[in-house]
Amino acid sequence: MRIWTELNGTPPAPVDLFVYTHQHRKNKAWVDRRSEHVYEKYKCRLEELTQQASLQGTPPPKEIDVWIEVAGTRKGHIYGLWSELLYLQAGEITVVQVLRQLNGCKDMKLKN
């Protein structure tokens, strides 16, 4: 995703890559209903939590935390983030390792 970084100035967030891999480029149609539903639910929840944090004077929520809340996990898998996280490996510490640390789960598996 070097091109993404060059165009936007920052590496893509996992959610950006989810959209990239789950939406057709020509007509922006979602590949399935679940992808669209999870993404729309994510956007609403992120907005809600961001507004709450602003009113309370606390930091905004982490996007990945909101994604996990909305998309959910099943048997340690996080919906929609497997292929996206493969792009975000950086040096010796990968995003997968960071997610495992954030969630306190050594055996977390990621699933697309």
Q: What is the pLDDT of residues 40-98, one digit of tens each?
A: 999 999 999 999 999 999 999 988 889 889 988 777 677 887 644 544 444 334 445 55
d(CA 3, CA 27): 21
DSSP single-letter state for residue 77: E
- The tokens of 29 are what? 């149609």
By the 8 A CB rule, do 87 and 95 touch?
A: no
Residues 6 or more apart whose Cβ sits within 8 Å of residue 107 = 76
pTM: 0.67
